[in-house]
């Protein structure tokens, strides 16, 4: 989704929630907040180029540590915005998965200690016992699993994963 939307003033959507304390993810939080309030969006396909998106190596979104901090902040803000139990559960699950994915990346890129720490954080944040076990198992297995095989371990059923480690 692009960062510039056209909103009709008479639609009543001109007054919006936009968290200016965030340094990134404001637009994402805006769209999620509107969807939670029952707003609906539609895409109008118009012939021709409508937008250009510029990305470069020094852009904010290319700075992964910065984006990780801001994504975590956005998830915490979202936690306070979501009012229904199912939505809150989904946000908690996705926040835990985000932490786990950071851990996987750290481990597969050679930062074992940081990766294991992130996987333990994912286990602690996971709302379900199954997800907690998955991330904790990954944290325990990381020091003993070759980096090339670690990512596969995460998406493989537990019994098969243990067999792969023991090979």
Residues 104 and 148 sit within 8 Å (Cβ to Cβ)? no
Distance (Å, whole) CA 42 – CA 75: 25
Given a cut of 80, whether residue 167 has pLDDT beyond it is no
Do 128 and 78 belong together in one domain? no
14 Rama sector, left if φ>0, alpha if ψ -120 to 50, beta otherwise: alpha
Is residue 92 in some structural domain?
no
Distance (Å, whole) CA 25 – CA 30: 9
Q: Domain range spanning residue 153?
A: 103-167
Do 76 and 115 belong together in one domain? no
Do 75 and 115 belong together in one domain? no
pLDDT (tens digit per residue) in 103-114: 999 999 999 999
pLDDT at residue 160 in the model: 60
Is residue 1 in some structural domain?
no
What number of CA atoms fall less than 13 Å from residue 83's CA on the CB side? 6
Do 74 and 110 belong together in one domain? no
Do 111 and 156 belong together in one domain? yes
pLDDT at residue 1 in the model: 44
pTM of the model: 0.75
Distance (Å, whole) CA 135 – CA 154: 8
pLDDT (tens digit per residue) in 50-104: 676 777 788 888 888 888 889 889 988 888 888 889 989 999 999 999 999 999 9
Is residue 144 in some structural domain?
yes
Is residue 32 in some structural domain?
yes
Is residue 31 in some structural domain?
yes
- How many structural domains are present in the chain? 2
């Amino acid at each position: 989704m692009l960062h510039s939307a056209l909103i009709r003033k008479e639609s009543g959507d001109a007054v919006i929630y936009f968290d200016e304390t965030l340094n990134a993810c404001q637009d994402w939080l805006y769209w999620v907040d509107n969807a939670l309030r029952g707003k609906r969006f539609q895409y109008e396909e118009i012939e021709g180029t409508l937008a250009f998106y510029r990305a470069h190596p020094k852009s904010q979104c290319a700075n992964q540590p910065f984006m990780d901090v801001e994504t975590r902040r956005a998830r915490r803000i979202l936690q306070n915005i979501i009012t229904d139990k199912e939505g809150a559960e989904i946000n908690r699950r996705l926040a835990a998965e985000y932490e786990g994915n950071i851990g996987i990346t750290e481990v597969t890129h050679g930062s074992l200690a940081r990766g294991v720490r992130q996987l333990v954080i994912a286990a602690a944040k996971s709302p379900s016992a199954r997800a907690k076990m998955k991330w904790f198992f990954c944290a325990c297995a990381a020091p003993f699993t070759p980096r090339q095989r670690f990512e596969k371990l995460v998406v493989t059923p537990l019994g098969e994963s243990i067999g792969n480690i023991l090979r």
